[in-house]
Structure 1
Amino acid sequence: MRLRSLLFVPGDSDKKFAKARESGADVLILDLEDSVAPSMKDTAREMVQGWLDQAGEVEPALFVRINPLDTGLTLADLSAVVRPGLAGILVPKANGAHDIERIGHYLDALEQRSGIAPGTVKIAVVSTETPAAMFALGSYQQAGERLVGLTWGAEDLGAAIGITDNKEPDGSWTFPYQVARAQCLFAAAAAGVAPLDTLYANFKDPEGLEADCRRARRDGFTGRVAIHPAQVETINSCFSPSEEEVAFARRVVDAFAANPDAGTLGIDGKMVDIPHLVAARKTLAAAGEA
C-alpha cells in the first residue's frame, strides 16, 4: 500500500467524495471526526458505508478517521465501517500503543463478523495530539503488524497545552512543534512504518506547500496528509523519487549485489557503504520497484 498522499474527505459530503476520487491521492481518509458535526455523525457513517461499498470502482485506498476513544463513539464508528472495501483506519488523539492494541481487538472481532481476512484493516495514527502521547511515541515499536504509518498534528496539541500561536513570524514551527514533528519521524522509523508529515493548512499556497514538502522529504518523511484535492499533485510529485535518484539507487543495489562480500564500494568516484544501500532500497521502494 502506497502512503504518499492521504487526502481528507468529510464523511457527510457526496460532492467532496466524488471530487476526491479524481484527485490522484494514494489514500482517501473518509472523516468521521472533526469535519463532521455531532448531529451528522450517524448520517456520515451511513454515507461512508456506501462509499466503501463502491471501493472496487475507485483506485485510492480507503481509510476512515474514526472518533477518539475518549468520545464513546469509536466502537460505533468501527462497527459501521469495518466491511469489504476498508483498507485502514486513522486513529486520532491516540496516547500510545496501548490504544492501538485495544482498537486492534475490536478489529479482530469485526473483521471476523464481516468475513474479512484477519489483519486486513491497517492502522495509521495521529501520534502527537495529546501531551501524554508525546511520552509514548516509542511504544509504537510494539503496536503490531496492523500499524502502517504515523503522522503528527498541531491543533489539538496546541489546545491542550494552551499555546497562543504555533508558527514563528517566518512561518516555521515554534520549538514545541519542531519537537513533535521530529519525534513522530523518529518513532515511525523505530516502528518500521511510514512517517507522514502533517497537513499544510493554506491550500491556496502551492509554492509554500511545495517548499515545505521538499523539506519534509529531505528530513525523511515519505508522504503527507492533504486537506484539499488541489494539494495532491504537488505532494505526489515531491514525495516521488526523481529519475536520477532512481537510476543511482539501481546502480548502488546492483553494485552490492555483484559484490556481496563488500562493505564499501566506489561509484562515480564516491565511496558508498551499507547505509547507502539501505537508502537506495528505500528509494526504489518509493518508486514502486522491489
Structure 2
Amino acid sequence: MMRLRSLLFVPGDRPDRMAKAMGVGADALILDLEDAVAPEAKPAARAAVAAFLAAPRDPAVRLFVRINPIDGPLATDDLAAIADARPDGIVLPKAEGLVSLHALAARGLTHIPVLPIATETPAAIFKLGEYAGASVPLAGLTWGAEDLPAAIGATAAREADGGYTTPYQLARSLTLFGAHAAGVAAIETVYPDFRDLDGLAAYAARGRRDGFTGMMAIHPAQVPVINAAFTPSADELTRAQAIVDLFAANPGAGALQLDGRMVDAPHLKAAQTLLARAAG
C-alpha cells in the first residue's frame, strides 16, 4: 500500500509549479485537469501533465492526475493524454460508486489505482458502500464539501465556527467507513484557508483521531502540517510495539495489562495497524 499522508493539488497548466511541488515533502501530487484548469487551457494542461509524467522524477513522490468527470466529454481526452505515461493514480471526481469505476475500466484503465472523490453528487452518497466490491485497484477514498452543497442548492456546508453542518458530517463519516470497509486509505478533504495553519493542524488532528489516514492539500505550506498530523509519534509507536510484544509473549490470552491498563484484541489490532502504516 502506498504511503499517502499528504496529497497536494497542483494545476495541470502550471508545469513550473509541478516541478517546485516535488520538493515540498508531499507524499503525492495531484496534477489537476479538472477544476483548476479553465476550459480553453485544458489541451495545454493535458500536454504539460503528460510531459511531466514522462520525465525523470523522484519515485518517492507519487503522481496522481485528477481527470474530468468520467461521464462527461472531457475525460476521454484526459485519459488518452496520460494513459501511456502511467501515473501512479487517477483521482476520479464526481464518482458514483461502481458505475463510475466500470466506466473508467471500460476505457482500458484497469491497471492504475483510482482515488474516487466520492461525495460530490447526491447519488454518490448512496454508493459509498459499493467500493468494497471494486474490481479495479483503489488507492483510497476521499470526499469533498464544495460540489455537493452546490448540487443541492445549500447555502453553506459549514457552521459559523468552521465545523461542518449535519449533512456534510454525514458525507464525511460515510466516506470514512466506506474506505475502511474497502480496506483502502481514508483521505480527509482539503482545509480551504491555507493561511490558517493552526486551524489546519487542529482539523488534521481531528481527521487522524477519527480514523482518516491522510489528507489533501491546496497549498505547499499545508504539507508539513498534514504530514506531522498523520505521522505517529515516537511514543505512539513505542506503545504499539509494547502491545504487540505483550500479546506475542502471551499467546492465547484474551486480555492483558499494560502500564496498569487493560488491553485486548481491538487494542492489538489498532497497534498492528499503526505499526504497519508507519513501516509503509
TM-score higher than 0.5 here? yes
Q: Could you tell me which residue of structure 1 aligns to residue 146 of structure 2?
A: 155
Q: Could you give the per-residue CA deviations for residues 108-155 of structure 1, whole angstroms, max 9, x where no partner exists?
A: 4xxxxxxxxx73x11111000000000111111111350121111111
**Paired residues of 1:129 and 1:153 also in contact (CA < 8 A):** yes
TM-score normalized by the length of structure 2: 0.96
Q: Could you tell me which residue of structure 2 aligns to residue 3 of structure 1?
A: 4
Q: Could you tell me which residue of structure 2 aligns to residue 271 of structure 1?
A: 262
Show the 5 A alignment for 1:161-200.
161-200=152-191
List gaps (5 residues or longer) in structure 2: none
Q: Could you tell me which residue of structure 1 aligns to residue 248 of structure 2?
A: 257
Rounded Cα–Cα distance in structure 2 between residues aligned with 1:255 and 1:59: 34
> What amino acid maps onto 1:213 in structure 2?
A
**Paired residues of 1:54 and 1:85 also in contact (CA < 8 A):** no
**Paired residues of 1:78 and 1:107 also in contact (CA < 8 A):** no
- Is residue 90 of structure 2 the alignment partner of residue 89 of structure 1? yes
- Relative to structure 1, the CA distance from residue 84 to residue 70 in structure 2 (aligned partners, 3 Å threshold; closer, same or farther) is closer
**Paired residues of 1:56 and 1:85 also in contact (CA < 8 A):** no
> What amino acid maps onto 1:162 in structure 2?
G
Q: Could you tell me which residue of structure 1 aligns to residue 63 of structure 2?
A: 62
> What amino acid maps onto 2:254 in structure 1?
G
Displacement after TM superposition at 1:55 (Å): 4.7
List gaps (5 residues or longer) in structure 1: 109-117
> What amino acid maps onto 1:44 in structure 2?
A
Residue 221 of structure 2 aligns to a residue in which SS?
helix
Percent identity between the aligned chains?
Answer: 52
- Relative to structure 1, the CA distance from residue 136 to residue 55 in structure 2 (aligned partners, 3 Å threshold; closer, same or farther) is farther
Question: 1 or 2, which has the higher helix percentage?
Answer: 1
Residue 147 of structure 1 aligns to a residue in which SS?
coil
Q: Could you tell me which residue of structure 1 aligns to residue 79 of structure 2?
A: 78
Count of aligned pairs: 279
Displacement after TM superposition at 1:84 (Å): 4.3
Q: Could you tell me which residue of structure 2 aligns to residue 12 of structure 1?
A: 13
Q: Could you tell me which residue of structure 2 aligns to residue 201 of structure 1?
A: 192
**Paired residues of 1:30 and 1:65 also in contact (CA < 8 A):** yes
Rounded Cα–Cα distance in structure 1 between residues aligned with 2:104 and 2:56: 23
Q: Could you tell me which residue of structure 1 aligns to residue 53 of structure 2?
A: 52
Q: Could you give the per-residue CA deviations for residues 179-215 of structure 1, whole angstroms, max 9, x where no partner exists?
A: 1111111111111111111000000000000011111
**Paired residues of 2:243 and 2:271 also in contact (CA < 8 A):** yes
Displacement after TM superposition at 1:85 (Å): 4.7
Rounded Cα–Cα distance in structure 1 between residues aligned with 2:244 and 2:99: 38
Residue 164 of structure 2 aligns to a residue in which SS?
coil
Displacement after TM superposition at 1:101 (Å): 2.3
> What amino acid maps onto 1:11 in structure 2?
G
Show the 5 A alignment for 1:103-182.
103-108=104-109, 119=111, 121-182=112-173
Rounded Cα–Cα distance in structure 1 between residues aligned with 2:65 and 2:170: 27
> What amino acid maps onto 1:90 in structure 2?
V
Displacement after TM superposition at 1:274 (Å): 1.0
Residue 2 of structure 1 aligns to a residue in which SS?
coil
Q: Could you tell me which residue of structure 2 aligns to residue 283 of structure 1?
A: 274
**Paired residues of 1:125 and 1:151 also in contact (CA < 8 A):** yes
Rounded Cα–Cα distance in structure 2 between residues aligned with 1:223 and 1:251: 25
Q: Could you tell me which residue of structure 1 aligns to residue 239 of structure 2?
A: 248
TM-score normalized by the length of structure 1: 0.92
Rounded Cα–Cα distance in structure 1 between residues aligned with 2:211 and 2:267: 14
Rounded Cα–Cα distance in structure 2 between residues aligned with 1:229 and 1:55: 22
